[in-house]
Structure 1
Amino acid sequence: MWAIGLAVATTWTTNPLLSLLFIAAAACVVFSRRGDAPWSRSFRLYVWLGVIIVVLRVGFRVIFGGGDGTDVIVRLPEIPLPAWAAGIRLFGTVTWQSVLGGLYDGLRLAAMVICLGAANSLANPKRLLKSVPTALYDIGTAVVVAVSVFPQLAESAQRVHRARRLRGGVGKRHAVQALVIPVLADALDRSLLLAAAMDSRGYGRHGRSTARARLITGSLTILGLIGVCVGVYNVLGQDSPGWMKMPTLLTGIALGCSGLFVSATRKRTTRYRPDPFDFTALTVAACGIGAATVMYLATQTQPAHLTPTLSPLQWPVIDSLPLVAALAAMLPAALAPRAPRTAEVAPPAREEVPA
């Protein structure tokens, strides 16, 4: 909930200073509260993914029409295109307005990715299956497997890199080949082991439910998820008509709840060692929800500086409410407990053995 709240808060602004503040808040919480589990090292991959997103957005603005605006940076030779490609341009004049627009949009998307990646670095993504409702087991399993890709790759890369160092390594010329192939092979082996473990524990079983009941439950659940996604997009979007926002969201919630109710009456699940949702977890979730709520209030009361003006160029400014939202997002660094670390195993005591 904390990571989702941060991701929602970043969608309401293109201010680069605010995006960097939310990224800094997520990084501060991760570095101060993560443990030494293998998935704790995956945050660096999300940061690099955010950097790639920013570079690609700016690069696309330069390659495909960077001439919006009047403040010219450089004039590149434009590549002529045929008549059927009218409206598309390659290179040409590059302006500050176009480059900064790509930078601001890229930073917003990168902040969303990094904030969601922070959750994967602080907790095991596979534990999400314990909290998934019964009707969403199939969808939840696919989502958890997809979300855990980066942590698994980080763990595999760390293990392979350590093994290469113990063997003495290879030359830099073949370093990529020596790293990529073992990482992919290790990820495939672990995926097969995970599938076998889930199958042995009963994941995917249908029990006594009929094919018709499964069809009704699945249809209601999927339609509800689609309705919730469309409704959330309309609520968060600035250009959506007002009459579509709440009705779409409420319809999706109603369909989703119907699917959950039908599934709950037909399926029975058991949980071993359920995760407690104590006061500390509630406080951390409240920090994320509070950050999103304060940012929403800022869009209603202080919207001027949430979207910096590019014509004319102005330096971004941060108002008081967005600053409060960023500080609320950083509170789990002090309120949340540190993730448990792996216990160090003491070496066995040396004993004298008679000859």
Structure 2
Amino acid sequence: MAVEAAQELTGMAPRRTVHPGAWWLWALGLATAASRTTNPLLLGLLLAVVGYVVATHRTDAPWARSYAAFVRLALAVLLIRLFFAVFLGSPIPGTHTLLTLPEVPLPAWAQGVRLGGRVTAEGLVFALYDGLKLATLLICVGAANALANPARLLKSLPGALYEAGVAVVVAMTFAPHLVADVRRLRAARRLRGRPDRGLRGLAQVALPVLEGALERSVALAAAMDARGYGRTAEVTPAVRRTTAALTLGGLLGVCAGTYGVLTAEGGTYGLPVLLAGLAAALAGLWLGGRRSPRTRYRPDAWGVRAWLVSGSGVAVAGLTVAYAAHDPAALHPGVVPLTAPAFPLWPAAAILLGLLPAFTVPAPPPPGSRPAHDAPNPRPRPRPRKEPA
């Protein structure tokens, strides 16, 4: 553990780790597949795949402990969606009435909104499918936070995006550090025999957590200032104007090309404009990186395992999107009339490709273990003393 901590501070990652960008691509690919279906069987399979990979490859780092918080958040979102469907009604008509709540009369200008009234099985099932899809998206993002080191991800960004990347990484690490602080303070209160649950315990834990967040932000600001954050190199005005023109034109080209690809009228110009916009944006980022020169100590290499991890997520997303265009009814089970969802085999087989990182990436060492090269040398035995004759 001491060697891994030293490697983390110096930027030298262990050999068994995978590029953090690969984990994010894998998670975003599974999230894309989840956004294309409301089938609860396929969503449950996605949750099982994500949970298995996280359980086998999550470390004991602070950011890795935020996965449970994302699972609780996903469960809360699902319950809130069901609550809204019960008390605020559902746009799905139904004939199977489960219960009838007292309805609050509303004025004429609020037509289309109701409080209480009839709760149907069709509306409740539709809300369950919709909430489960959103919960799966949140859990996929939580898996990326638990598996990818945000500090290593920041090192891999191009120089033009370094300032924005720092802000994103600080925002991403807020939740993991907050969860770690709450656990530490609750454990300390339990050891002292004080309550750590309920409103009283929450009120007494909130102030130390906010104080720790403030101290961490001040320390981060001091470290960033000591490392020269925000200082730029001198470039010519022509390079600045060219960078701005390429970046802005590239982003406009990406927007126009994406619109052309998604619409039927832009099938002829959509893809060329999209590729041209991507090329211009990448050129602008490359030129913009000259304004923020920085060095990388032992940068993370994008190896074979990174290609396998990211490729599995992209394959899951691509195959699911292709099947959604071929047979959308299998991925979106109907609720009117109320029928049991089917289990399509081809999308399920595509989702199982997301398990590839569990077999191609070595599992991290268990907490508290010491690598073989870090094992202490055995203490030499003292030589027996010779007695004088």
Which bracket does the TM-score occupy, shorter chain normalised?
A: 0.7 to 0.9
Partners of 1:256 and 1:185 lie apart in 2 by 41
Matched, 1:207 2:233: yes
Maintained 8 Å contact 2:158/2:286: no
C-alpha distance in structure 1 between counterparts of 2:249 and 2:104, whole Å: 46
From 62, 84, 101, the counterpart of 1:38: 62
TM-score by length of 1: 0.85
Q: Which moved more, 1:240-249 or 1:279-288?
A: 240-249
Alpha-carbon shift at residue 319 of structure 1 (Å): 1.1
Q: Hey, what does 1:189 align to over in structure 2?
A: 215
Change (3 A) 1:344 1:327: closer
**Structure 1 residues 249, 104: CA separation in 2 closer, same or farther (over 3 Å shift)?**
farther
Q: CA deviation at 1:68?
A: 2.8
Aligned to 2:28: 4
Show the counterpart of 2:190.
Answer: 165
Indicate which of 78, 83, 95 corresponds to 1:59: 83
Residue 316 of structure 2 corresponds to which residue in structure 1?
291
Which amino acid in 2 is paired with 1:181? Answer: L
C-alpha distance in 1, partners of 2:255/2:366?
Answer: 37
Q: Does the C-alpha gap of structure 1 residues 140 and 67 become closer, same or farther in structure 2, counting only changes over 3 Å?
A: closer
Amino acid at match of 1:131: S
How many positions carry a matched residue from both structures?
344
Partner of 2:103, secondary structure, is coil
Relative distance call for 1:149 and 1:343 in structure 2 (3 A) is same
Cα distance in 2 for partners of 1:230, 1:165 equals 58
Residue 169 of structure 1 and its aligned partner are, at CA, apart by 2.9
Matching residue's letter, 1:291: V
Question: Greater shift after overlay, 304-313 or 319-328?
Answer: 319-328
Distance 1:171 1:113, change over 3 A: closer
Q: What amino acid maps onto 2:43 in structure 1?
A: S
Aligned with 1:242 (options 264, 282, 294): 264
1: CA distance, partners of 2:206 / 2:248: 36
Q: CA RMSD in A?
A: 3.0
How far does residue 297 in structure 1 lie from its aligned partner after superposition?
A: 2.2
Q: Distance in 1 between matches of 2:303 and 2:325?
A: 33
Once the 2 structures are TM-superposed, how far is the Cα of residue 31 of structure 1 from its aligned partner? 0.6
Q: 1:209, 1:267 within 8 Å by CA — same for their partners in 2?
A: no
Q: CA deviation at 1:6?
A: 0.9
Distance 1:113 1:188 in 2: 27
Give the Cα separation in 2 of the matches to 1:233 and 1:157: 45
* Deviation for aligned residue 1:199: 2.6
5+ unaligned residues in a row in structure 2: which ranges?
1-24, 380-389
Please tell me whether the aligned partners of residues 67 and 94 of structure 1 are also in contact (alpha carbons under 8 angstroms). Answer: no
Task: Pick which of 196-205 and 23-32 moved more.
Answer: 196-205
Determine if the alignment matches structure 1 residue 268 to structure 2 residue 290. Answer: no
Distance 1:299 1:60, change over 3 A: same
Q: Secondary structure at the match of 1:78?
A: strand
Q: Secondary structure at the match of 1:203?
A: coil
Task: Decide whether the 8 Å contact of 1:136 with 1:221 is kept in 2.
Answer: no
Counterpart amino acid of residue 353 in structure 2: A
2:109 corresponds in structure 1 to 84
Largest Rg, 1 or 2 = 2
Paired residues of 2:30 and 2:317 also in contact (CA < 8 A)? yes
Secondary structure of the equivalent of 2:63?
helix
Which structure 1 segments of 5+ residues have no match?
350-355
2:42 matches 1:13:
no
Q: Provide the rounded CA distance (Å) in 2 between the counterparts of 1:170 and 1:230.
A: 57
Distance 1:230 1:144 in 2: 29
State the one-letter code of the partner of 2:203. Q
